Amino acid sequence: MQRSAVPAGRRGAGPDPRRTASSWPHCPETMIAVNDDERRHSLLAFVGAGLAQPPAKALVVGALAAARRTAAAYRARHEPIDDWLASEIRLRGIREAVAFVAALEIAERRADVAQMYRHRYPDRSAVLDKFLMTLDT
């Protein structure tokens, strides 16, 4: 019986996990991972902007998931998110920041929400711009 060079469990299972980003620098998976890392970093910087300490990642993940679910529910009902966003940004903090993230992720509202954020926080324009660049890719 002839032996295959590919281990039995790996046949047709996608890219070889033994190839790392450093051993295969031009693969699309590597480029996506870099973009994901940049997006994650800019997201955490955006959410943490203005806070005394960076928030725990688990807290950000939970709050962001809830904000995205709420924004998606409004969109599914074809209702504007304006009232929800206004209620979330009343008090400053993580809920406010993730509400802005969820609203900025809606392409049709991005310019309006970005302008609202810039008006509210003119000193955070650089963080906002970096986060917006990750949304466009």
How far is 95 from 85, CA to CA, in rounded Å? 10
Q: Within a domain: residue 15?
A: no
Which one is predicted more confidently, 76 or 20? 76
Q: Within a domain: residue 84?
A: yes
Q: Within a domain: residue 12?
A: no
Summarize pLDDT for 87-100 with one digit per residue, the tens.
999 989 999 999 99
Residue 116, pLDDT > 80, answer yes
CB atoms near residue 85 (< 10 Å): 22
Q: Within a domain: residue 102?
A: yes
pTM: 0.73
SS (H, E, C) 35-103: HHHHHHHHHHHHHHCCCCCCCCHHHHHHHHHHHHHHHHHHHHCCCCCHHHHHHHCCCCCHHHHHHHHHH
Q: Within a domain: residue 57?
A: yes
Q: Within a domain: residue 129?
A: yes
Q: Count how many domains the chain has.
A: 1
Total residues belonging to the chain: 137
How far is 42 from 132, CA to CA, in rounded Å? 9
Q: Within a domain: residue 17?
A: no
- Closest by Cα among 116, 119, 114 to 129: 114
* Average pLDDT score over the chain: 82
Q: Within a domain: residue 18?
A: no
Name the residue range of residue 115's domain: 28-136
**Average pLDDT of 73-99?**
95
SS (H, E, C) 1-29: CCCCCCCHHHCCCCCCCCCCCCCCCCCHH
